[in-house]
Structure 1
Amino acid sequence: MQLPGAQNVKCFFVLNAKNTTKDQKASKEHNTMSTNDYRNLPKSMHETSNRCKDHDKKYDIYCAIHSCPCCVQCVTEDHQKCQDLKPLADILKDVKSSANIPILKKDLDDLKDSFKNLLNVLEDRMETINLQKTKGIEEVRSMRKLLDDYLDKLERQIIDELVSKHSKMKTDTELLVKQMEYRTKRVDQLIDKFSTITQYATELQTYIGLREIENTASKESKYLEELDSGGLLDNQNLEITLSPALQSILQEVQSFGHISFKSSPHGIQVMTGRKDQAQNLVPVFHSIKQMKPSVKVTLNVPKSERFQIYACQILPDSTFYFSIGQRNA
């Protein structure tokens, strides 16, 4: 019978008590599990087999160098030079009771806590950079408003100054125009008076009248000379010279500012656990060739006595215990 998601699962039916003996012996060392428990195993566990995929032989050997189980043919073909070959049964014997199981569990819990803490930190960071963006936009717009208000103020100042100077120039010009119109009329009157005198006046009248006209004309000429010498007849123009500092903004100021990324140490304690955790579940066996003994302590036996040392043991606290027997010379 084939269970969903399972491969090569044997189900034994009791047809004859005598015929079940062999199957009982084959299965007495195996623990059973429910179908639901089996389905809850990770997918990779469903695909795990105790037989080699390449040679279809049972795994019997474990290679610590390559961290993989091997069948006999695998050892012959690919692991001839590997020295750390151990019986797979020895490796698996105490794997679930290994002291590394709770250590690995703690490592997983630490990893979960680390990722959870980092997730909280990253969420806070997202909130922080969103606030920084909002603050940056507010700063740009605030600076823009300050610039607008300041430029509006400068604009009002120069326009008010322009209007004031234009008004003064206009008033002075209008006054000068009125004076010119008045003087022009007086000269016209002098011309009419001159024409009348020269045509109808007697010699005495002509003499006196021409003297008056001459004096009046002299005064008008003097007035013109005063206007000329006083610069009142010079051309008056309104010129606006914009501040070079303002004009340089168009060439020198290329942006409102500069946006950059500033990195600083995060200050978060990340618990990464141990490296090569999977390897810690597998007992480490060292071959004789890998062992490098060194002299730690030298024990001197009195020359007057002779001992027979039967056994020696070194305890974890570096205490030496000897099993000795005294013998006669």
Structure 2
Amino acid sequence: MAASSGTLCDVCDSQHLTIDAIFWCLECDEGLCTTCLKYHNASKLSKNHEVISVDNYKQLPSFMTSVQQYCSDHDKKYQLYCLQHEIPCCTHCVSAIHKKCDLTALDEIVKTSKTSALFDNLEHSLNDLKENIKRITKDRVQNLSKVHQSREKIQSEIKTMRDKIDKHLDRIEQKILQDLGDVEKGVNSEIQHIHNKLLEHTKTVEDLEVHISAIKKYASDLQIFVGMKKVETDIEHAEKFVMSLLEDGSLQQVDIDFKMDHKLFDILSIKGYGNISRTTSSSAVVMKTEKNKQAQYLVAPSRATRTINDINISSHRKVKITKNNKYSLFTGCTIRPTGQIVLVDWNYADIFIFNESESLECTIKVSRGPVDVTCIDEKTIAISHDRHPLHN
């Protein structure tokens, strides 16, 4: 007799009995019928195991149900967790592979895997990702509208000029309209491609939201701990895609420009209407991100603390000061948000300002004894003074 639920009681199946499983033990990773559940709950070894219904178990993502309690290589139960490799280990794994690794007890690690903070972080990242996708989608739709409006405006200019001339312009009019259409088609295709990709990632985010909801309700601690790595990886993949749109220029504002040929006013010298080209400007999308992920969602490997002795000095920029007096004494320096370098000459009470190309922009005379300088904002600097002389 076939099981109507599609899931058999594993204990009965081992005895060649075909009985539906109504419950699922997350620790034993096997189905149980009502009768076997009674024995399961009465056993000292399994009475504290977490048991859920088969229907709830089926709601877990496949990557969560594939999490095993036992090592596939040694058939031993996982007892330790390797911080370097970020994987659970059995005692045989330790002696074979992880002798020099930083290990900790698995039961201590998984205790915190089902905390609200873990899900809050993941759900917050998903919400940010979803919000970013919405913002980018809205921006791309608005950009499409902007391109269409620019096209209509340019086409109107072309038609206005065309009405002032005779059939001599038919051929070049068709040429310029063809160029305009080609540029718009190319821009439209690029933006539509991004739009389609965003729709795909929106579906991924929605699926992950469903998975997380099911995991929070029904997954075991170990399943959560190991399985959340998959969720985190999927989120990071989607985040990288969204952030790559900014980095590779995909979110640059695209427009169409038209440069009218001044020779149009001289009909005998007309060779064309002008040039159609696309223009870009910086992206108007403001990404919502949470860079401070509170170390990581899950356990991260320990890392050696860096000290000041680990820092190496290297030359970044050089400036040349064309000043004849050799007794200059530079005591302070700052770099402004604009990229300008500001130096303080204590001996001559001079402030030197260099531009981004490392050329001297100006010299400002100040009261005696300037010691140091700091930047307040893009237009303001503050100078500290000392009445006592400084010595080399």
TM-score by length of 1: 0.47
Higher CA-based Rg: 1
Q: Which structure has more RCO (C-alpha within 8 Å, separation ≥ 6)?
A: 1
